[in-house]
Structure 1
Amino acid sequence: MRVVLTGGGTGGHIYPALAVAKEILRHEPQAAFLYIGTKRGLESIIVPKHNIPFQSVEISGFKRSLSLENFRTIMKFFRAVSDAKRMLKEFKPDVVIGTGGYVCGPVVYAATKLGIRTVIHEQNVEPGITNKFLSRYVNKVAVSFEDSLPYFPSAKTIVTGNPRATEVVSSNPEKGRSNLQIPAGKKIVLLVGGSRGARAINEATLAAIPQFSQYPDCHFVYVTGDVHYESIKERIDKQREKPTNFTVVPYVDQMPDLLSATHVIVNRAGASFLAEITALGIPAILIPSPYVTNNHQVKNARGLEKEGAAEVILESELNEAILMNKIDAILHQEGRWQKMREASLSLGMPEAATNLYRCLA
């Protein structure tokens, strides 16, 4: 099988594509891949590290208001379609898989015009404009949530879950602990705002650090994001009370291993991360980003909250008191953690990558 993968801009679009590639190789070890992204997106850095050939087209997103920039974007789109057609004719794929982001638009559209089988995957509850556009042309639409079904043509849409869920179920909790030298008997409370960090989560966590020592049975792991690490570390070093049950790091390379050892997580509500934590059944406190298109993280988070798998704090309401009250309730209210864990596991789809692989036939 020859497969073109496309998706970019954020890890939430890239890692599901890489998870699908891994699943395809499990079934078809001789499969060949090409990844088409943009030079400016994270995919240009992440994909080559996975030994997948990478090529790029130039494309950008539409502005919400009428502008000359949108006209330029339309021109870029048609140039990118032409470039993608050339790449596809050279590679001769059996299928093209799009996992979201602006780059999917021209690449998947080009594939449909060349008569190549196409599959797109939508990670969020409410789909982005690119996948809405492509759904009219592709052979199959895979979605992570049942709530996404009304947005797409019913005859070709299937709930598969998010392929990242499959990646984490085989992770190693002992390795997750040992990598950060966390004692085996401690419950891990993981606070993370994504690879680039989240200022609101960072500020609330900084203010809450003196309270961590009140939980001797827990170890708090604080992932600041690379951008904020040096300034945050400097502020922590100046604090009078620095608990011993606390680790601060800029980034975690093997996040699935740490997740599999985590007892409670505080995080944004990106779709891929939610797929991972529900596959593992981790009770969550979600602080959705208010800076994303269509406010989709709030909709993702509310879905978990409705099922009892998560607590939601809007960024505008976040402070250290509210954060620590919710952590304390999950840790110490009788039966609360177990109920949330069971609710989370009921939403998880660890077979997601296999489900999506079946869509390629």
Structure 2
Amino acid sequence: MKKKRIVFTGGGSAGHVTPNIAIIRELHKEEWDIFYIGSKKGIEKDLVEKIHIPYYAISSGKLRRYINFENVIDVFRVLKGCLEAKKILQKIKPHIVFSKGGFVSVPVIVAARLLKIPIFIHESDLTPGLANKISKKFATRIFTSFEETVKYFPENKTTYIGSPIRGEIFQGNAKKGTEYLNFNSNLPILTIMGGSLGAKKINETVRDVIKQLTKKYQVVHICGKNNIDHDMYNIRGYKQFEYIHDELADILAATTIVVTRGGSNSIFEFLALKIPMIIIPLTLQQSRGDQILNAKLFAEKGFSVTLEEELLTSKALMANLELVFDKRKEMQSAMNLYSKKDALSFLLNEIGRV
């Protein structure tokens, strides 16, 4: 049987890449040849190369909502990216392009449309990002993580399916996670994640209260690239990492509470694992506000509490941790009532029908 070919695209942050990787891992290699188009320096390059998928880098510009001279330069970068993407797609001749958004996806989608290649898009956030707002007119099918998001896209080609969650995240073993960290079973484990690029204020606040934290918790601190504090290596009950790959499922299986940004993919994974959350979303100065909306909806459903970064202090962090710890059973009960959709299986089925 002749293999089908699929091109994935999306990048700029891990949130635009990990759902693609979840799908890639489940596609049968005997049925599919898989390729990835991303930016030259984005995090997607490192993540995709780790799973040994052919990677093609193109020029891309940042999509800004404010006036900046770089916008003019980026128009030419995007046009160059469209030409590069078209050349790559003409060489690969894929049966489908699947996009998770991010600015690098726009040239790929434009090129795919010119070549009349079917385009599937998945939008993770409550409101669509600028890349997907541009891309929706070119898409063949659009899928969303939130039911409330459907209204932002053409009704005739949009389907609410939930978030495609990595299958391996459910395979974690709490005992292995505890042993990997060299922790014990006497204190609960608190996992702190500032996103794939880290979070300066979260890192600083955690380290300011680490002595208080380690009296009640054993702390796993995933602090982002180049954010390790080498003076804090020998603190008992505190482990810091730039990023965690293979061991993450085991660590999450052992986790009692997680402190996280409000990226959709991450919080849906924690929801699926029924881990109570403190969500510290990116501010409006750092983002378009999508994480704030995600956090608000999760808090309303009883899955988490929200701590705005502008209000993040040592005292506020400790108070919110106490609140979540006391309400953790109640939060898990709310999570149990959540009707989880198997978005990954749905997408695999839809891709297979192309």
Whether the TM-score (by the shorter chain) exceeds 0.5 is yes
Deviates more, 1:341-350 or 1:125-134: 341-350
Displacement of 1:36: 0.5
Give the AA of the match of 1:251. Y
Q: Match of 1:4?
A: 7
The reply to whether residue 234 of structure 1 matches residue 237 of structure 2 is no
Query: 2-side partners of 1:219 and 1:66: how far apart?
Result: 45
What is the percentage of aligned positions where both structures have the same residue? 29
**1:89 pairs with 2:83:** no
Unpaired runs of at least 5, structure 2? none
Quick check: 1:166–1:349 contact (8 Å CA) kept in 2?
Answer: no
Report the Cα offset of residue 198 of structure 1: 1.2
The answer to which of 119-128 and 188-197 deviates more is 188-197
- Say yes or no: does 1:247 pair with 2:250: no
- Aligned residue number for residue 324 of structure 1: 318
Distance 1:248 1:87, change over 3 A: closer
Matched, 1:14 2:17: yes
Alignment of 1:1-361 (within 5 A): 1-25=4-28, 29-184=30-185, 186-215=187-216, 218-230=217-229, 233-234=230-231, 244-253=236-245, 254-290=247-283, 291-331=285-325, 333=326, 336-347=327-338, 349=340, 351-360=342-351, 361=353
Normalised TM-score (structure 2)? 0.91
Given that 1:307 and 1:343 are in contact with CA atoms closer than 8 Å, whether structure 2 keeps it comes out as yes
Q: Which moved more, 1:299-308 or 1:57-66?
A: 57-66
Which structure has more relative contact order (CA 8 Å, sep 6+)? It is 1
Quote how far apart the aligned CAs of 1:143 are. Answer: 0.9
Contact 1:281–1:344 (CA under 8 A) maintained in structure 2: yes
Deviates more, 1:194-203 or 1:138-147: 194-203
- Aligned in 2, Cα 1:51/1:72: closer, same or farther, shift over 3 Å? same
Deviation at 1:67, TM superposition (A): 4.7
SS of the equivalent of 1:248 reads strand
CA positional deviation for 1:66 = 4.0
Q: Which moved more, 1:129-138 or 1:193-202?
A: 193-202
Structure 1 residues 213 and 44: alpha-carbon distance in aligned structure 2, compared to 1, 3 A threshold: closer
Alignment partners' CA distance in 1, 2:66 and 2:243: 36
What residue identity is the alignment partner of 2:146? F
**Residues 144-178 of structure 1: CA distance to partner in whole angstroms, max 9, x if unpaired?**
11121111111111122222354412333332222
Secondary structure, counterpart of 1:89 in structure 2: helix
CA distance in 2, matches of 1:348, 1:33: 31
C-alpha deviation, 1:224, in angstroms: 2.6
Post-superposition CA distance 1:115-134 (Å, at most 9, x none): 11110111111111110111
* Separation (CA, whole Å) in 2 of partners of 1:43 and 1:165: 16
Amino acid at match of 2:287: T
Task: Give the TM-score normalised by structure 1.
Answer: 0.89
The structural deviation recorded for 1:346 is 4.1
Tell which deviates more after alignment, 200-209 or 2-11. 200-209
* CA shift in 2, pair 1:96/1:273, >3 Å: same
- Once the 2 structures are TM-superposed, how far is the Cα of residue 299 of structure 1 from its aligned partner? 0.9
Q: Which amino acid aligns with 1:319?
A: T
What are the superposed Cα offsets for residues 69-93 of structure 1, whole Å, 9 maximum, x if unpaired?
3333223323222221221121111
Amino acid at match of 1:98: S
Question: Contact 2:61–2:75 (CA<8 Å) still a contact in 1?
Answer: no
State how many pairs are aligned: 347
Report the Cα distance in structure 2 between the residues aligned to 1:246 and 1:69, rounded to whole angstroms.
Answer: 42
Contact 1:212 1:245 in 2 (8 A): no
Letter in 1 for 2:180: N
CA distance in 1: counterparts of 2:81 and 2:211, whole angstroms: 52
